[in-house]
Structures are given as structure tokens and as C-alpha cells.
Structure 1
Amino acid sequence: MRWPRATAPAWPVHAVTAALIAGAGAAYALAGPGGRPAIYTLVSVLPIITFLAALASGHLPDRRPWLIAVVGLVLLFAGQLGWPGWMNEHHLGRAQGSMLDLMQSTAHTFFLVGTAMAIRRRARSDPAGIIDAALFGLCAGGPLWEWVIQPNLPAAATPLGETLLLADLLVLGAVIGCLLRLGAMARPGRGTLGYLLVTALLTLVSTVTGTLSTDVGSGWSTGLMLMAYLTIAAAPLAPDAPAMTVPVPRTGHVAGRQRLGWLAAALSANPLIAAVQVVRGSESASLLLPVGTLLVVPLVLLRIRHLSAQRDRAERTLAYHATHDELTGLYNRRHIAAEIDRALAEVQRGTLDEVTILLCDLDGFKPVNDRYGHPAGDAVLKAVAERLTATVRRDDLVGRLGGDEFLIVCRGTLGPDAGDLPARITEAVRAPFPLPEGVVSVGVTTGLAQAGPGRAADRDLLIGLADAAMYAGKAARGGDARRVDAAP
């Protein structure tokens, strides 16, 4: 089967779907009691065919979410084959607790899990918004249950049937909330999202209608379910269906006090309704609160986990920026100063035999900025940072003091490296830098200062000695390192 591209118009899918809805509705209305189950069975198998065809053709690239949804559709079809007259005999929304009720609830669970996986992939940039939307939708089912569904349940309703029906209503509300949130995030994939949203709404309204209807008016519920099957069958046929599981950039705002306030109000709805029912002496309060809580608690835990992860990431980011240079990623002046103080304190205690600092100042860097601009200069500074890090030992610290000045802290005796390290730094930095604007070269002058037992010094003195050695090197115009030891 050849599928339309994402840029193809969606109106042919809409037109075919509308025609099928009209044709199936007319056929169902005109058919007698013996023919209606056959029409309903044919309609219920249609979404299985369209999803499998879309998966086989590669139109739905992320297979797992849709395969899980197909399992749910297959269960619904199997239930229709096993109990062909179930929908026509007015059982939907009656909370009878039959085997088909359990089968239908399980099928809905499979389909909703698949949809949740697709939602999770699409909304990676806004998981908090999706969780909040699910909580809003789930909590909105409480008033619907207490004020519309439960008072109109038949006397034959069983506790198991009521539990399954209530769970279905609450989960449908959560999915509707998530789909609305996804539709507000980005335009790609809205065609498939729209069909899934209409399917969820039709299923919800069909269930409510089944509860409120009498035997004579039960055709409304069946007709709405026929429409739900046909709209979900159209979902994988939409040209933009592949975008349904593609992550979209975040467009919403960070949760503030107002949004959290509404969330708190939504979470308080079901307990408040249950409390009112207890005061009134209603037995239904014993069902809403536990079932609603079982569904709300996992979402609340996910929200708390997300907030905790956000806090941990923020703390790590703040800690990183407090100790690192923003441009090069090297340690900043504050952290390098603290490390020098710590190393000198260890020297004084006798736990460290020596500390060496190398102050590196680039030569010829200003012409690069003047000729090629600051972006080119920033690229050179980043490259110099990488070369310095690659030249020193693994445990040595490389930092940027600012501008084109770098400082290296070496803990412990350098040994033969004391004379070789500055030369290696000079050789590494002098290598040409290929830039989009052209190839540039800069030099470096290094000043070295050391402190050890019998050569005590504080940080300012040690840096001052390295700075003096570096300027002496510049004055000599050779770029060679100059070494100054701390005075005994």
C-alpha cells in the first residue's frame, strides 16, 4: 500500500471517514436485530486492519506503542465475536461485572498503555505538563461518576462492574487531558491526535449514554461506539501519523503558583466529593475514593519524581557553573584559587611534597579577534583549552583566569616534567588552528612558580611569581618559560 507523505492533504482521509460513518450508521439503522451484530463486528475489525497495514508499510515508524494498541483492539474484536449481541442488548455502561466487562476493561488498558507510550515519546520535552494534564482529566471523572453515572446505575450493577466502569471513566478522562495537552504543543501529528481524541470522547460519551439510556434508546450508545471504531481506524491513515511519536519542542510555561493551585484543587476534588457523600450517608463514597486514589497516586509519584529530578539537575548545573568557565568548560578563577589554597595547605602540613603553577598567556591572540571577530577568537580559546588539557597530566587542573590567560595547577613533584612541560605546552598551542574563516596561529608564554617544603608561599605570592616569570619571558621575546621558586 502506498501511503501519502506528511505534506499531503488530509481531507481525503476526513472525507472517507465521514462517508464510512454515514454509511455504517445508515446500515445499522436499517438492519434488523439479526444484521446489526454483523455490521458492528465488521466495523470493529476495521481499525485492526488499518493499524496493521500502516505498521507493515512503515507509515508508523515507532512500532511498539501501536502494536500494544492493536492488542487492545484485537481483544475488543474477540469480545464482539464471543458475545455478538452484547452492544445491541444494552450492556454497555451498566456495570454488570460480566466477563465481557472485564475483557473490555483489559482491552482499554492495552490500548491506553500504547497511547501512553506514544504520548511519552512525543512529549519528552514537557513530561510535567503531560502528568498534570492526566491528573486534571482523571480528577474530572470524579464528579461525572458521582453526579451522573452512579445515581443512574441499574439495580443489577455489581461492585466489580462499578469498579471497572469507574476505572474506565477515570482513565479515559486522563487520556483526554493528555491528548488535549499534546495538541496544544505542536502542529505536526495533530491529525492523528484529533482522531484519537475524538475516539476517546466518543467512547466516554457512549459509556455515559449507555448508563443513562433505557432499553428503547440504547441505539445511541451503539451508534457512538460505531463512530469511535471508525475514527480510530482513521488515525493511522492520517498523513501526519508518523509525527505522532516524534518529540516536539516545549512551548508551555514552567509550572507556577497558579498552575500548581489548580492542580491542588483538582486533586482535592475526589476526596471532597467522597467526604460529602459520607456526610450524606451515601454508600458510593466507599468506591470513588479508593479507585480514584489508586489511579491518582502513581501520577502524583511521577510528578514528585520529575520535580526531584529537576531539582537535582538544577543543583548540578549551578554547581558546575560555580566552578567552571562558561566558554571553555575549564575550571574558573574561583575554583583554581581554592585548589591552590588547598594544595598549599597540604604542603604546609607535609602531606604534599610540592605544588607547581603555570601561568599561560597567549601571544598574538588580539589580531585574531580584530581580523576574524570574536566568534573566531572564542573558537581559538576553546581549542587552546582542549590542547592544554591534553598536554598536562590527568590529575593536573587547568583553568581559565579570564581573557586569554590560563592557569595550570600541578600537585606533587613534576620531576623531569618540570622543564619539559612548558615546552610541550608551547609546542601544542603553536600548532595552527583551522577555522571557517581561515587558518590562524597563536603563541604562548608560560611562567612557572613552585612551592614546597622550605619554600612556603601563599596563593597571591605564588601567582605573582608566576606572573613575573611570564612577563620576563615576554620581555625576552622568546616565549620561553621562566621559573621562579618561592622564597624560603
Structure 2
Amino acid sequence: MDRRTTTLHASLLLLLTALVAVCTLGPVWRYGAVAAANAVPLVVLATQLGRRTAPHRVGWALMLVGTAGLLVHNTHNAVSVAGTGGPAHGPLATASMAVGYSLLLAGAVPATLPYARQDGGGMIDAVVIGLAAASLLWGVVLQPAHVRLGSSTATKVDEMVLALLVTALTGMVVRVAVVADEARAPALFLVAAMVATNAADIGFTLTLDPATGLSAWWPSALCVVPLLAFVAALVHPTVPALARPEPPPRGLTRPYLAFLGAALAVNPALAGLGQLLGRPVDLLLFATGSLLMVPLVVARIGLLARHQAHSERLLRELATRDELTGLPNRRALTSHLTSVLDAVAAGRAPGMVLLYLDLDDFKAVNDSHGHLAGDRLLQSVAARVRAGVPGSALVARFGGDEFVVVLTGEPARTAPALVATVGRVLDDPIPLGDVLASGRASIGVASVEAGARRDVDGVLGEADASMYAAKRTRRADPAPC
């Protein structure tokens, strides 16, 4: 962290200490302190948007408007406490808080979207765990407090929805902090901001005096913390890294699955415990929690199924592909050749031609220039043959410096054309850095007429024998250099 950032964070810490001290002086002072703290992120967001340094402009703009809404709410409260001795009520107070929190949360979404695309399963898990924590918070702490205060249904709904949203988003930001090494510092500041927001909400509810509408001083002090922690995240030099998600950590483990299972069991457990204790079941929480959890669980199962299908496809490819050249390997060749021979024997194909290629100078390249040059030669030969033969042909690496080409067609016409094509594409030298190497190969041919029944080993053996005969002929009468 550079000197400028250190100075900014030290200044924020001093401002936090001063505003917390102001909160102890009385109701008017503490509401004024929260309003003053609220102005700081508003200025920082406006400055970053003006300088075009915000990593998520849409999200930053939404948070700017949301912060302005909360500033209106907190200023209105400060004015009301100064004039009437109690916090503000009415449409402006309700709307400014609702708009402020809604837009702040909406603005945080663009920052998490890149992670949701790359780490969708982990983000869903984080939301599920966050919702479970919110359910515990509401069922054990906030809901009994609102029952004791005689709060209206609308107040309870507002409080519950806010707790669910903030805690779910906290889970997502915690996940970002876990995954994003480069952006961990600003992510942790955001986690601190959200935890403090929830703690302040709890404090306001638990210490609320129904007669005056005022709470203790310390929840207001806690309200200062998220506002300045938010600023600390915004001015951190690594905050642009939030736009560059890193690969997620390894997937599900048994303890992690057990933890997720426990999170999903929270709402039913709270309902069952309430019944055992003779308390009414909080149907609002149970219904809302279920409506939020079920789609998330279905989405998570869908991601797991897609990941499983992708893994199985990769395993199949690994089992049937040659790692060096990317061509089908010997196992894939055998499977394909079996199917083609069956079709030829049944008359469903007009015949088949198989070419067996063995590179003539591969050992010399390996011995003279090393195995890396030999590997590059094999890759170049594979690419040339694959590009030169018809698209319906199978080109496979049989092993070592041996390749096989399989093509259906009437043998009398197909075989000469296919041999000529392969010979032509391998005729020119192959550049391997500063070296030109020969990619020429001895080619053996095996043909199967329509209706003839042959087995895989017999056809490969015939082509192998033909290849060795061609190699002996080439050695006896080498091509001119």
C-alpha cells in the first residue's frame, strides 16, 4: 500500500474516532455525526465517477444515488431530533431509507457479477449461507425484539427484508474476499461495512425506547463504521482488481457440503424449535426464506450437474485423444475402425481404405535436435495430414511416429487419391525453428471392399506389412535430396 493510501486510511481512522466520540454527546450530535460520515462516501463516489476511475461505473453511480438517499434520511433525522426530540417519520423518512439501501445494494451487484460468472457455485453457496445467518439473526434476535416492542407488520417486513438482503450480500462479498487475492483488502473493508450495518440494525432494535423513538448512542456509532469502511474500500489502490475475478478455489468438500446442509436446515429447525417451545411459527420468515432458498438450491444443483457433465466429457476426451497432437488415439481408432468395418460388411458403406504412416527420419531428428524438436515434428505432421485429407477421414496417432488414416469409399478410386494427397502434404520440409526437417513417411495401404468382413487386427496388420514393404523399397531407392 502506497504512502498516499496509508495517509487516507489514517485520516479515516481519526475521523471515525472523532465521530464515534461525538455520538456519545447526545441524540442531536449522534444523528449529526452519522450525517457527516454519510457525506464522505458521497464525495468520494462523485470524485471517482468524475475522474472516470470507478471500476464499475454503473454500480458506482447507483451507489452514489443510494448514498445521497441515505444522506437525506440521516440529515432529516438530525433536523427532526433537534426540533422535536425524536427521529423523523413520514413518507420522506421511509422513502429515503428504502431508496438509499436498495440502490446501495443494487450498486454492489455489478461488482459481484464477474465473480458470479466465474464462480457461480461458490457465490450461490455464499448467498445460501448468508440467508441462513440472516434467518438465525431474525428468528433468534430481531423478531422476538419486535414482538416485545409491538412493532407493526410493515416494520417487521422491512426489517426482515433488509436483514436478509444485507446478510446475503455480505456472504457474497466474503466469498469475493476468499477468492480474490489481489482485491482482498477492499473486499475485507466491504465485509466490515456490512457486518457493522447489521450490528447497528440489531443495536437500534434492541435498545429502542418506544416512548421517544430513540436508541442508545452506540448503534449510531456503529452506523459511522460502515460508511467510513466503505470509503476505505473505495480509495484502496487495489479496488480496480474487483473487476478482474481470479480462478475460484477448489470445489466442494465433505465438510463444506455438511456446512451447506446445516445452512439449508436453519429455517425448518427454527420452525420446529418454536413449535417445541410453544411459540408461534414465524410464517413470514419461513415462507420468505423458503422462496429464496429453493431457487438457489435448484440453481446450485443445475451448476453441479453441468460441471459433472463437463468433467465426464473431458475424461472421455482425455481417454480418446492423443495429448501431444490432439488427434484421436489408438483406443479411439480401434472403436472407429470397428464401426466402419461393420458398416462395410453390412453393405452400408462402399468400402474402406486405411493408410498406415511411419515417419522416415523421425529418429534422426530426435537424435540430432532433441525430443522437443521431435515433438514439434509430430505436431506439424499431424496438422498437415489432418488439413490435407477429406473432412470425413479419421486421422489418428497410432503410437510413436506412426499415424493411421481411415476413409470410407470405393477402394479402387479412394486409395490412390488418398495416398497421393498424404504424400503431397508431407513432401515439403517442415521448419523447426532454425532447422528444416523431413516429414516424409512410408505409407502402407489396406483396403476392404463392400460386403467383405474383416477384423481390426487383420486390417491393421495388412497395412503395417504394406508400410514396411514401402519402407524397404524407399531405403533401397532413396529419394533425391
2:367 equivalent to 1:367: no
**1-side partners of 2:151 and 2:174: how far apart?**
32
- 1:1-400 equivalence runs, <5 A: 10-27=5-22, 33=28, 40-80=34-74, 100-101=93-94, 104-105=97-98, 107-122=100-115, 126-153=119-146, 155-215=149-209, 217-250=215-248, 252-400=249-397
Q: Per the alignment, do residues 437 and 90 of structure 1 end up closer, same or farther by CA in structure 2, a change over 3 Å counting? A: farther
**3-state SS in 2 of match to 1:476:** helix
**2-side partners of 1:347 and 1:420: how far apart?**
20
**3-state SS in 1 of match to 2:474:** coil
**1-side partners of 2:435 and 2:116: how far apart?**
42
**2-side partners of 1:85 and 1:282: how far apart?**
41
**1-side partners of 2:356 and 2:334: how far apart?**
13
Q: Per the alignment, do residues 479 and 312 of structure 1 end up closer, same or farther by CA in structure 2, a change over 3 Å counting? A: farther
Contact 1:98–1:161 at 8 Å: present in 2 too?
A: no
Cα deviation digits, residues 365-418 of structure 1 (max 9, x gap):
122223333333222222221111100101111111111111111012367553
**3-state SS in 2 of match to 1:313:** helix
Q: CA deviation at 1:29?
A: 5.1
**1-side partners of 2:68 and 2:376: how far apart?**
58
**1-side partners of 2:125 and 2:310: how far apart?**
20
2:449 equivalent to 1:452: yes
**1-side partners of 2:8 and 2:184: how far apart?**
13
Amino acid at match of 2:224: L
Contact 1:59–1:241 at 8 Å: present in 2 too?
A: no
**1-side partners of 2:383 and 2:86: how far apart?**
73
Paired residues in the alignment total 470
Amino acid at match of 1:183: A
Q: Per the alignment, do residues 144 and 336 of structure 1 end up closer, same or farther by CA in structure 2, a change over 3 Å counting? A: same
* Gaps in structure 1 of 5+ consecutive residues: 1-5, 481-488
- Residue of structure 2 equivalent to 1:3: none
- Residue of structure 2 equivalent to 1:464: 461
**2-side partners of 1:78 and 1:9: how far apart?**
31
Relative to total residues, which structure has the larger helix share, 1 or 2? 2
Q: Per the alignment, do residues 182 and 32 of structure 1 end up closer, same or farther by CA in structure 2, a change over 3 Å counting? A: closer
Contact 1:166–1:291 at 8 Å: present in 2 too?
A: no
Contact 1:48–1:70 at 8 Å: present in 2 too?
A: yes
Amino acid at match of 2:278: G
**1-side partners of 2:69 and 2:408: how far apart?**
68
Q: Per the alignment, do residues 87 and 151 of structure 1 end up closer, same or farther by CA in structure 2, a change over 3 Å counting? A: farther
Amino acid at match of 2:229: T
**2-side partners of 1:76 and 1:381: how far apart?**
67
Contact 1:333–1:400 at 8 Å: present in 2 too?
A: yes
Amino acid at match of 2:200: S
Cα deviation digits, residues 78-119 of structure 1 (max 9, x gap):
544666657997769xxx997745653454344334434323
- Residue of structure 2 equivalent to 1:484: none
Q: Per the alignment, do residues 97 and 41 of structure 1 end up closer, same or farther by CA in structure 2, a change over 3 Å counting? A: closer
Amino acid at match of 2:359: L
CA RMSD of aligned residues (A): 3.1
Contact 1:140–1:173 at 8 Å: present in 2 too?
A: yes
Once the two structures are overlaid, the 10-residue window that deviates more, 186-195 or 98-107, is 98-107
Once the two structures are overlaid, the 10-residue window that deviates more, 122-131 or 446-455, is 122-131
Contact 1:69–1:115 at 8 Å: present in 2 too?
A: yes
**2-side partners of 1:400 and 1:441: how far apart?**
18
**3-state SS in 2 of match to 1:477:** helix
**1-side partners of 2:473 and 2:369: how far apart?**
28
Q: CA deviation at 1:437?
A: 6.5
Q: CA deviation at 1:455?
A: 5.0
- Residue of structure 2 equivalent to 1:485: none
Contact 1:123–1:248 at 8 Å: present in 2 too?
A: no
**2-side partners of 1:220 and 1:57: how far apart?**
36
Percent identity, aligned pairs only, is: 31
Amino acid at match of 2:54: L
Contact 1:124–1:247 at 8 Å: present in 2 too?
A: no
